Structure 1
Amino acid sequence: MSLIANARMYAVDAATTATWAAFFARIAKTSGVDLTVFAHPAPAPLEDLWRRGDLGLAFICGYPFARGGFPVLPVAAPIPASGDGRPLYATHLVVRADSDIISLRESFGRRLGWTVAHSQSGFNALRTHLLASRQERGALYADSIGPLLTPRRVIDTLLANEIDIGPLDSYFYDLLLAAEPNTAARLRIVETTQPRPMPLLVASRGIDETIIARLRAALLEADSDIAMRDILARLRLSGFAALDPAAYRVLVAEADAADRAGYLQPE
């Protein structure tokens, strides 16, 4: 039985998409588990992907994983090479490089973009980061534009001068720096949120546990696989880590706190 693999969340461009395909091919070889890349491109809902019964390895954001409702099991979490050796990431709040916005406070009263409500980096981390200011001042932005669905759409909308500030997954930004330095140079980070657990690779709940164990072992040993090292370097990863699902509960707690405060959408 062939299982599907998907890295749409971090398919920054065609070359990076091809590198993810090479990554999954190598994991398939070292684990002995047949994996077939399944693109599922935007705007197809990621929720539809996460409900499938044939996931071998697919990225899911930590917030919907922790909230539940999808029949998936955790396999492993990636470790960004730009970090401190832990499977953590954050959200950069970015503006155009030539923007007159220097500080986050200077963005208030302008136009804010966001991705989709199930996103940690593009929605809930943004709400959490802005919550204290929102409680102090009321609505922070003249316009709140979304759902933009993907980090790429945040970038495109920002560079088209349709928003003035937006959230960008820090690992997506790492990949953008490598793949499209000219695009990255047109952006400027104003502020960065607190680190939180990375999006993780999951498998469908009905997959045999021995298969999941083989996939997990291949991921955890990827950094010691000579043939994989170049692939990991191109993906700006240092390896993968075992994860504690309980570590993701903070994402739900923070989202719930924003909900209780009446801050239902970044604005």
Structure 2
Amino acid sequence: MSTLQSTSELAEEQKTCDRMAQLEIKSSLQLLREQEKMALQSIKKLNEEEMTHIDQWLFVLHKTYEELEYPSSHRVFQATTYFNDEQQLWYEQSKAEINNDWSCFCDRLKRHIQDRQKAQVHSQSMNHPLSNINEITSMENLIDAKFIKYSCIGDTKAWLLQTMNQFKQYGLCCLEQFQAIPFLLIDEAYLWYVEHIDLITSFELFSKLFLQQYSSTSSTKQNNTSVETIAPSITAPSFLSISHPQQTIADEIIKKPTYFRGSKDDVHD
């Protein structure tokens, strides 16, 4: 009888332990779900503002999915939940090529956003309604009146920081900052911008390429100082100077030398 009772007690204890373990597992899973939910909610929708910082947006996604240990296919699916209708349509058209590959998804999305931004800039430059033309004219007037233009002379970083601070001062948004770029550059700097205009799709990209191009050259120009070498004037000593009559006599002697004939006895003191 005692043996049966002890066996029954052991069975009950085992059940109790199992229930406690299940509760702990359930509690842990619930905590993980809450943490996952909070992490996913912290990611912003891919709106116009975020598209201008697509690299940063993708970095946040990648970091979050790494922490949550998402597989590649789930990362792609989860990322599309932040898309608008236009982006969802793009994904459906590219879905077969992406094939749930996270790296491929990021590369293609970034390229799609950059192509879209280029098309917008081109469309704005080709088809300006009157209001947009007035806005651009106002922008140009603002830059001419309040900003310092860059012409490859001076401290590049200092100029860029000052320009960014003035953007904040006058409340220019990301698109307006991007539109201001050609008005801020003159001479060689403007020519450089024209040569690289296809690569520049935002003010951030402009800043990166601009610093790569001019941060080293500006410091080199500052360190190089022009040195003028003045040849010393050489003046003959006064005791070697020859007057004009003396010079004439000397020339005649050289041209018509005088010859002496006779022996040395013919010479008298």
| TM class by smaller structure | under 0.3
Answer 1 or 2: higher relative contact order, Cα 8 Å, separation at least 6. Answer: 1
| TM-score, normalised via structure 1 length | 0.27
Q: Which structure features the higher share of strand residues?
A: 1
Q: Which structure features the higher share of helix residues?
A: 2
